[in-house]
Amino acid sequence: MSEPTKIILKLGIVLSLVYSLLIWFSLRSGKDITIYLVSMVINILIALWFWYMATRRTGDPQDGMGLGPIMLACGVATILILLISVIVYFIRRF
């Protein structure tokens, strides 16, 4: 398995775990989960956009090269959205 695939797989597992915990504890305390669902949809859209950018054919002999900055930007955006969701959870909790 390639290194980017391992990173994406681990990021997906962490996202799934954190969002499931946020939703579980929010439902148990009677809070609304809309913000977490919207965050999950945004993260899925970012992942689909990255997948589109990584798999489109341009005819370039070095096709697929130069995806590092795009992958970094998508990863940072995904983690920031997750952090915002966690911060919102703790603000609503206390």
Mean pLDDT of the region 48-75 = 76
pLDDT tens per residue across span 9-49:
888 899 999 999 999 999 999 999 999 999 999 999 998 88
Please tell me the predicted confidence (pLDDT) of residue 65. Answer: 66
Domain ranges of the chain: 3-93
Residue 72 has pLDDT above 70, yes or no: yes
Output b/e per residue, 27-62; b: 16+ Cβ within 10 A. Answer: eeeebebebbeebbeebeebbeebeeeeeeeeeeee
CB 39 within 8 A of CB 56: no
Burial class (CB in 10 A: 0-12, 13-18, 19+), 17: exposed
Residue/partner pairs of 67-74 with CB below 8 Å, 24 or more apart: 67/4, 71/4, 74/46, 74/47, 74/49, 74/50
Please tell me the predicted confidence (pLDDT) of residue 84. Answer: 95
- pTM here is 0.80
Please tell me the predicted confidence (pLDDT) of residue 32. Answer: 92
pLDDT tens per residue across span 76-87:
999 999 999 999
